[in-house]
Structure 1
Amino acid sequence: MTGSLITKKKIAKVFKKLVTDIGFEKVTIAKIMQESHMRRQTFYDYFQDKYELVDWIFQQEAIEKIEDNLTYEGWQVIVENLFAYFEENQIFYRKILLFDGQNSFQEYYTRHLKVLINQVLVVKYEPEDGIKESDRLFLENFYASAFVSLTTKWIVEGCKTESRCFAEQMKLAFLMGFKEKQ
């Protein structure tokens, strides 16, 4: 592991703890770096601001579960792993999701989910089915938006349904939507 990755992970770990303890809006770069025992400038060597840090954390921890596993795991396993991750990190993500500011986490999450949904569409609709590009894009947007909306609600309400059960419900919704071909 390179020194820069170690530094980024240390900053991210402190940031997650601070967000969990005091909330996203109260976390400052100065607090992060003071808690990390590093110079403030070190933060800016790696991240533009705390929004970019949130994106990096999500990319490193959650998106890895989606995009890096697409080639060797089925989409159902990826969905299960993603919800287990969110359940483990629910306090952090609840605080992030409750913050109404720039760089919406939901938009970022939606963008990455479209990759997973595209894989589901490829599996469900063979080339001979003749699904139009515009219909495929609509389905990607529709399912990504629904997925993000329900995930956000689940996290904000405290993950009352166990992640495994919630993943099963989400997979069922996908499968029901693709049950009948037109």
Structure 2
Amino acid sequence: MKKGNIRRQTFYDNFKDKYDLLEWTIRSMMEDDIISNLDYLSWEEIIPLVFYDIEINAKFFRSVIADQTEVDVVKEISLYMTTLLLHILETKGLVKNDQARDFVETYSLGMTYTMTNNLYKPHPKEYDELSKKVVNAIYFTFKYY
């Protein structure tokens, strides 16, 4: 609050605590990257955008993943990745398929883990390399649909 020159009461008028702020921050980032772009970019363009955002904010994400347990950061990101994958399913007419929906929930967690796990590697891979693998995996998965 000191750095932002925000009064304590102003903060609490908008957030109940620092964890509420953390959830809002992650959701805002994911909404900007994913939700705002669903009608304008292809999913193949959105995935690298999300991976890039995680990479340029690596210090922030490493900190909030390591220093607190109140907000499940991976779960929060995964919820938005699920939205993206459901959008892909919708365009392929598979939304009502229970197996496809199960896949989406599981794959979203794996995709998010891939992003966040990379933050802790001594020599992390570049965002474009990781996102290309994810895009290729999605193509492979859906190539028969």
Judged with a 3 Å threshold, the aligned counterparts in structure 2 of structure 1 residues 67 and 158 are, in CA distance, closer, same or farther, namely farther
The match for 2:54 among 86, 92, 95 is 86
Provide structure 2 residue ranges, at least 5 long, that are not aligned to the other structure.
none
Are residue 139 (structure 1) and residue 94 (structure 2) matched? no
TM-score between both structures, scaled by the size of structure 2: 0.88
2:22/2:71 contact within 8 Å kept: no
**Per the alignment, in what secondary structure is the counterpart of residue 68 of structure 1?**
helix
Identity score, percent: 23
Structure 1 portions without partners, runs of 5+: 1-32
| 8 Å CA contact 1:69, 1:78 repeated in 2 | yes
Higher relative contact order (CA 8 A, sep 6+): 2
Equivalent in 36, 39, 62 of residue 30 of structure 2 = 62
TM-score of the superposed pair, with normalisation by structure 1: 0.72
Aligned to 2:69: 101
CA distance in 1, matches of 2:68, 2:2: 26
1:37-76, Cα deviation, whole Å (9 max, x unpaired): 3321111011111111112222222321101100111001
Number of the residue aligned with 1:166: 130
Q: Give the C-alpha shift of residue 115 in structure 1.
A: 0.7
Residue of 112, 133, 136 corresponding to 1:148: 112
- Higher Cα Rg, which structure: 1
1:113 corresponds to: 81
User: How many equivalent pairs are there?
Assistant: 145
Q: Give the root-mean-square deviation of aligned CA atoms.
A: 1.9
Are residues 1:178 and 2:142 paired?
yes
Which structure shows the bigger proportion of residues in helix conformation?
1
